[in-house]
Chains A and B, each alone.
Chain A
């Protein structure tokens, strides 16, 4: 199967669209994959926003992951479920797209995005505008055939520094360009998806949180990601340094700052909040 619009595509159908204003759609999570991280539900919302933004500027520019003010993690999702996606565009022009969105499955809210901003870049640098127009017509019609996403081969990092309960460092080797998702993200310029990077950052943050004693012998649950900012493109084969640092601790809350560096340059950062107890 051709990777384009399959290997890293998380919108099967656009059900309602007001270009530049709002868009709704859906994505069926293939049953035969091992897991579907919540960060990919966020990716699905970002992709739905991107379709609406591209349609609003006649596919001359496309947004890329940049800023997420707040991401609420509400419930897990599993293979075989259908994500119902909803995005409100706050603004679209040739420079940037601002939006918010929510995804749910089986009537249960899964993730909410607030105050997201994606810088707009020329579509032609990343993809074939005609191919995008064609696929947009498919999505806006009967939809695409579900099942194109085959899961992500486990991306691992080697934890190689830090102080237990206070900080954790790790080295991450980005896969080569032959990794399937690069054929879709993007055909003309492979870029490591920011949502996958964030997923790895969250794993490191969760590993650090697990070293912090939780009240009443409970466990820390990921609640929100805030001030997420991606500063540079990450290409196939690059090596990154990940760092998670405990930034604050209250009785039922722990905040971890995650940072990703390419050499000395900060490539991305976010604040990750964990709380104990049931989800609200």
Chain B
């Protein structure tokens, strides 16, 4: 799924609520939650915090966010074996991630990139975009004729 058509205005519209939600989950000041902050590197999030953030975002925005959705959507039509092998993301997989996670500075993509370290790339903007995609999906599902 492409995300180039998510506009800065859309992100700006939901960012304050996302930042507040993340600050509550992480127990930090909301001012610390910048759009380009890395959740793990800058905000000190651990795996349990990711779960917390996702469930809080679901409640705050009334959307359903399937776990693992970011990587699944980043992979797109690439098969799992084409995306990663032996726990390392392939060149094609890294290229997909760089496109999908366009908000992540290029120098944060390590080579080789381990699958387990993909979440280290995620920024606050990554989660804003995830919420917007789910809002759009929900709106599209709701708009479909019965």
* Residue ranges of A at the interface with B (Cβ–Cβ < 8 Å): 66-67, 93, 95-96, 98, 115, 117, 119, 227, 229-231, 269
Contacts and interface: CB of A to CB of B under 8 A. Distances in A.
B46 A231 contact: yes
A231 B47 CA distance: 8
Nearest to B67: A95
A229 to B, nearest CB: 6
Contact of A115 (B48, B55, B66, B68): B55
A90 to B, nearest CB: 8
Contacts of B46: 231
A47 to B, nearest CB: 20
A269 B27 contact: yes
B51 A66 contact: yes
Contacts of B20: none
Closest 10 CB pairs of A and B: A95-B67, A117-B55, A67-B52, A96-B51, A231-B48, A117-B51, A66-B48, A98-B55, A231-B46, A119-B51
B27 A119 contact: no
Instruction: Name B's interface SS.
Output: helix
Contacts of A231: 46, 48
B136 interface: no
Nearest to A119: B51
A260 to B, nearest CB: 14
Contacts of A95: 51, 67-68
Given A229-B52, A231-B46, A96 B59 contact: no
Contacts of B27: 227, 269
Interface string B65-102: 01110000000000000000000000000000000000
17 contacts: A66-B48, A67-B48, A67-B52, A93-B66, A93-B67, A95-B67, A95-B68, A96-B67, A115-B59, A117-B52, A119-B47, A119-B48, A119-B51, A227-B24, A227-B27, A230-B48, A269-B27
A99 to B, nearest CB: 11
A175 B49 CA distance: 28
A230 B48 CA distance: 8
Nearest to A271: B27
Given A115-B55, A115-B59, A229 B68 contact: no
Interface residues of B, number: 13
Interface of B: 24, 27, 46-49, 51-52, 55, 59, 66-68
Contacts of A98: 55
A231 B51 CA distance: 11
A93 B51 CA distance: 12
Contacts of A66: 48, 51
Nearest to A230: B48
Contacts of B59: 115
A98 B52 CA distance: 10
Contacts of B66: 93
A67 B67 contact: no
A179 B52 CA distance: 32
A229 B47 CA distance: 11
A151 to B, nearest CB: 30
Contacts of B67: 93, 95-96
Nearest to B52: A67
Contacts of A93: 66-67
A161 to B, nearest CB: 22
Contacts of B47: 119
Contacts of A230: 48
Contacts of A115: 55, 59
Nearest to A90: B55
A231 to B, nearest CB: 6
A221 to B, nearest CB: 25
B142 to A, nearest CB: 20
Given A66-B48, A119-B47, A229-B48, 8 more contacts: A67-B52, A67-B55, A93-B66, A93-B67, A96-B55, A96-B67, A119-B51, A269-B27
A220 to B, nearest CB: 23
